Every structure is written in C-alpha cells, then in structure tokens.
Structure 1
C-alpha cells in the first residue's frame, strides 16, 4: 500500500528548479508548480521509510466506525500501552465511491489527530504504521483534489495539523555541556524522533496551502492569526528539517493570504526584538531572514515608513548578537536589498554597521567588511559622501589590524571598481585618513600578502594624483 501511494506521488524536481525558491518576489511561486519541496515527498520519504506494512495491505474489509468511536482520551490510552483501544486502517480512497470520498477524508483526518509517543521506539508500532500510511493517503488526496474544500473539511484539516505540529519545543540536553560550550556550526543538529509523522503532516500542510482548491477567503477563518503565531513559534525547533518546511510554508502563506501580511511582518519583528534584546537564543533566525529576503524583494516603491523602521529597529541591530555567523549571509542579503531598493538608505545602513562594529572579534570583522562591500556597491556618490569620514576611519583601523585576514579583507575593497571610483572621486578627504595605516603596513606589517596589497593601493593613489 505504501509503495502504491509513494508511486503515485510526483518525483523530486531537478536541483536547479529549487535553488531560487526565496529569491524572487513576495508573491508565492506558481501553484502549477505546487511541486517545490512538496513534489519531492516521494524521494524524501523513501529514505526514511522503515515501515513494516505487513498485515495492512488489505483494507477493503475495514469499516469507518473506529474513527467515529475514538474517545478524546485515546491519545492517553494509546500512549499508556492500552491494547484495548481500536486503531485500524480505514479503506483506501480508490475503494469507495466518489460520493463517499469526502466523508472518508474527514474520518482519516480525525484518526490522524491521535499523537503517538516516539521517545520509546518499541511503543505502538502497528498504530504508528497505520497512521503514517493514512497521512500519505491524505497528502495524495489533497494533491489530486479537483473541487473546492468545504468549510467543514478546512476545519478538520486545521484541527489535524494543530494536533500534530503545535507542541512545546523543550530543548534537548546536549551531553551535560552548557549551551555556551557548543559551536552550533560544528555540532550535529538534534533530530526530532517524531519526524516520520511530522514530515508528512508538514507536506500535507504545504500542499493544502498551495492547492488551488483552497479558497483564501474561507481558509483565513481557520488559518488565522493564532495559527500563524503558533507556526512561527515552531521556527525555534532544533531540527533543521522542520525549519526548512516551515520556511517554505510561511513563504506560501504570506503569498496566498494577503490579509495576513502585515501581521506576519509584525510577528517576525517581535521575534527579532526578543532575540536581540532578551534571549540571544533562537534556532530559526536564518530561516526567517530567508523568507524576509523574498518579502523585501517584493516591496513596492517608494518604501513605506513601516519598512524603513523595520530596517533600523530590527535588521541593523541583528548585527549585535554573538551568534551572528549563524545567519549573517541571510541578514546581509536583506540589508543589501533595502539599499538597492532605496539608495538613500545607504548612509543609514553604513552608520548602523559602524555602530555595531566588532572590536575584539576578528572573524566577525571580516564578515562586516564583506557586507560593507556589498552595500557600497549599491551606494551612490551623494550618500557615500555623507558617511565617508567615519567609514574610512574604521577602514583605517582595519587596514592596520595585526590580524592579517582583517587587513587583507579591507585592502580588497580596492578590487571593486565601483568602490575604487568612489574613493578616487573623494581622495582628498579619504587619503589623509588612511595614509598613516598604509605607511605602517608598507613598512612593517608581518604578513607579506598584506604588504604587497598595501603597495598596490598606494600605487593606485599615486597614479591618480602624484602630489
């Protein structure tokens, strides 16, 4: 049965079609490619399919009654090792007439509301296999639906999704080591043992949101602000597979439910505030920024004051936390998008970077210099002139840094033609600021590469203006 269901699902698309999921605009990708991560369900699930479907292949002789008779306490009874609670597979959709399929869909949704304990791998094996099989059938049903989902169906869909996904994310212990002792880039990510079911529920939610049969006006009553907030809370999951699904689902939700867009932006804003000024601990900042990169890309011009405030109050202060390397690439993309949208923001952004410039962290300083190059590339002469004095005072400090990577990265700014032209046009102001650092490097910097680059930069100045 599982093989039949998996066989009917589309194959995983080529890598090139997946690369730019979050790079284009605030609108969702076309529903005709309801396929992004959704279409890859088959290949993603086959690898993790440890099910033993023996004994569950014949379903035509099973009735619907078990789904209706499940009491509210069934979760507790099943997870309490009670063998008296019935949990049987319902018939396949192809074994019932079309008029019965919606009722069967609702019954399967109700039965899938039962949540099992995955911390004990020996517990409820048969029931877990049955539920997983039914979840796959539900995904297939939503994907192939050719009629609008009714209000009753939507209510049951959201009920099943909520029962399975919305849970408290208690941090898992990491071998008695304190949190500060861990480099999250080096450590193996912690995987949720319930993923065999969670993954299919996420796939179901993704396909439900992307489906052309999901009417937005009706669905917004169930996928409401409360639902969105709970979805955003899950971004703190330690399982990167879960955060990847959430990223795609949030992007699709933002694109489809226009009425929720201001609320989603405000809720993300609040997550960032809490992270920057209170906890400095959150697992999903990179994924949230990746979604925001797409949203910012779709902002209309002129930019609203609300968006500019978001840049100043949330995005720029995100340079402050110690764990910046975990999300710097996505943050840099978001900020550069703002400058490309409105070049007048360059002065604000550069002064913001200078405010949070690291003093003792060399690797972080190299990241700041890389981001600065991207921003300067989108900066026009008028904005450059406003901030060039404090900017090149900081660059002069970097040029004379004893850490060779910092000095080297600062000198590489002259490799960028646009930045070099900006410097040439303002050399009478900039050269006196950086000349002492260039002299010091040329004479006695311990790193030969830095010395050679310094001589190249000095030659650029002397070629333009010998005096």
Structure 2
C-alpha cells in the first residue's frame, strides 16, 4: 500500500498538454504509472488504508479540479453537431489522454469493494463533490460522460451525501434557468437525476414534488431546451410513473412556459404533451381541460405545418 501511495504522489505532477512537444518522456512515465494504478485498483487485492484514500483524493483533485483551458479544437478540425455556429461545436481538451486515466482510476476506486465508505466519506466530502459538479461545465463531452458515471457511483455508495448532491444539482439548475441559461452539463445532470427519481420511495416526499414544480418544469423555458429535452422528458415521465396524479400539474407547467414564438420548441412540447395525455386519468384531465383546449386551438391556427399536424 506504501508503493500505491508513492505512485499516486508521482502522478500529482501536472503538465502542459497544449504543446505536444514538451515533457514527452515525463508525460509517458505518468501515463504508464496511471495505467499501473488502474490495474492495481481493479484487481481489488487489499483494503485501502486511510493514507491511501487521502492520497487518491489529493491526486484526483490536483489533476481534475482546474480552470478550463481556452476553447480548443483537436487538430483544428470542427466536429459538426448541428449547431448554427462554431459555439455549438464540442471542444476537446488536449489533456484528455491523461484525464481519462485519472477518471477511470477514480471510478474504479469508488466502485471497489475494498473501499470503506465510512472512512472515505471524510475525504470524498461536500467540498470534493462540489468540485466534481463544477467540472460538469466542461466543454469536452467525453469528460462530462465520465463525470456522469462517477457522480452516479458516488450517489450510490455514499448515502450520507445524497441530500447534498441533490441540493447542489438543484442549485445548478436554478442558476441555469434564472440567471445564465449557459451550462454544458445540463443533459448529463438530468440523466443522473432520472436514475435518482426512479429510486424515490412512495408516497413522494414534498421536497421531491417541489423539485418537479420549481426545477424540472421551468427547465422547459430556456432556448437551448433541445440539447437536454430527451433527458428532461425522461425525468418527467419517471415522476408520473411514481405518482400519476401529478399529470395535471405538469401540463399546467407546460402551458405556463408554452413557446408561442418558437415553433421548433412547440413541436417538442406537443410531443411531450401527447405522451402525458396517454396516461392521464379523467379527473386530472378535467382539471386542465379548458386551458389545454385553448392552447391546442392556437396550435391548429399555427402557420408551422408540423405544429398543425401534431395538434
């Protein structure tokens, strides 16, 4: 275990990856050391001591918790993503070959049966989790995907941190909807919440219903809805499967944020509405019947052919 800690210390040295010609030999030594560490953790031969847990968290913090570099395109190639301008195209971090190994190591470490959560929670604490959550704003989709898997494992392993994780993600959503409308990781965070919602006990707690009304439904408002619409719809569906009588509340929310001047968003709203109406009870339907038909009447008169067809 002492050798494990020593190798983790070696990996605390960081390099400049924007210049591929710098520190080539040192970078290779670090890469090979990280690969050795990943293999060691994966074999699960012995329990991790407290100094080893501390060393692991320190190494991950030094390598991962950083200010993001300026926008970067690998080899100058722009990857098409269906956006209207370059700002919509994904950016790839030149340090990813090393970052990927650090993320893989952290994932295997958290998932390991050799890690005692009671000891590790002192180091994988609120501060560590907050720093992980900040990384979800990374421009690199590969990094966000790794973070999504890791945070999901953290949520599963450290029950004591679950309320904090939910609250922290809520705050990111609040800031996105109310203040900035700019964040790269909304889709990934919603995907995590989709799994979280499926684990909610019945009857649903009031705090979970408040989350639906104050967070999920207002997430229909931003212009960038299309980027995370699939994940948002899944979260809504999970809530309605848990408690079908929430359908009228969801529809009322959709009507409140209805995109009257954006036909593309309107098509998305109509698709979600159709899905909700398929499972709604007559009692819930009658509660929203009048405003719903008023809105559908406006859709019938829409100049956009898809909106007309979907009404």
TM-score (norm 1): 0.63
Contact 1:366 1:405 in 2 (8 A): yes
Mapping of 1:85-234 within 5 angstroms?
102-170=1-69, 172=71, 183=84, 187-234=88-135
In our comparison, the structure showing a higher alpha carbon Rg is 1
Render the CA deviation track for 1:195-231: whole Å, top value 9, x for unaligned: 0100000000000011011111011000000000000
Selected match of 1:296 from 178, 185, 197: 197
**Whole-Å Cα distance in 2 between the matches of residues 183 and 375 of structure 1?**
31
Moved over 3 A (4+): 182-188
CA contact (8 A) 1:339 1:379 kept: no
Residue 314 and residue 171 in structure 1: after superposition, are their counterparts in 2 closer, same or farther (change >3 A)?
A: farther
Which stretch shows the higher mean deviation, 141-150 or 162-171?
A: 162-171
For 2:181, the equivalent position in structure 1 comes to 280
Distance change in 2, residues 1:388/1:338 (3 Å): same
Could you tell me how far apart the structure 1 residues matched to 2:108 and 2:190 are?
23
How many residue pairs end up in the alignment? 303
Contact 1:398 1:407 in 2 (8 A): yes
Residues in 2 aligned to 1:109 and 1:143: alpha-carbon distance in whole angstroms: 15
Alpha carbons 2:138, 2:144 under 8 Å: kept: yes
* Partner deviation per Cα, 1:281-312 (whole Å, 9 max, x = no partner): 00000000000001001111000000001111
Structure 2 gap ranges (5+):
77-82
Taking structure 1 as reference, are residues 184 and 388 closer, same or farther at Cα in structure 2, changes over 3 Å only?
Answer: farther
Shift of 1:403: 0.9
Stretches of structure 1 that go unaligned for 5 or more consecutive residues are: 1-101, 176-181, 411-467
Q: How does 1:11-410 map to 2 (within 5 A)?
A: 102-170=1-69, 172=71, 183=84, 187-410=88-311
What is the distance in 1 between the residues matched to 2:157 and 2:277? 35
Deviation at residue 169 of structure 1 after TM alignment: 2.3
Q: Distance in 1 between matches of 2:106 and 2:291?
A: 50
User: Is the CA contact 1:340–1:378 (under 8 Å) kept in the aligned structure 2?
Assistant: no
The question of whether the paired residues in 2 share the 8 Å contact of 1:318 and 1:324 is answered with yes
Distance in structure 2 (CA, Å) of the matches to 1:158 and 1:144: 19
Q: 1:338 to 1:185 in 2, by over 3 A?
A: farther
Contact 1:185 1:326 in 2 (8 A): no
Shift of 1:377: 2.1
Cα root mean square deviation, aligned:
1.6
Q: Comparing both structures, which one devotes a greater share of its residues to helix?
A: 2
Change over 3 Å in CA distance of 1:184–1:169 after alignment to 2: farther
Deviation at 1:378, TM superposition (A): 2.6
In structure 2, distance between residues paired with 1:306 and 1:251:
20
Cα deviation code 1:106-134 (max 9, x no counterpart):
11100000010001111000000000000
Contact 2:72 2:92 in 1 (8 A): no
- 3-state SS in 2 of match to 1:327: helix
Give the Å deviation of 1:188. 3.4
Write out per-residue CA displacement over residues 386-426 of structure 1, whole angstroms, 9 at most, x where no aligned residue: 1111011111111221211001111xxxxxxxxxxxxxxxx
User: Do the aligned residues in 2 keep the contact of 1:135 with 1:201 (CA within 8 Å)?
Assistant: yes
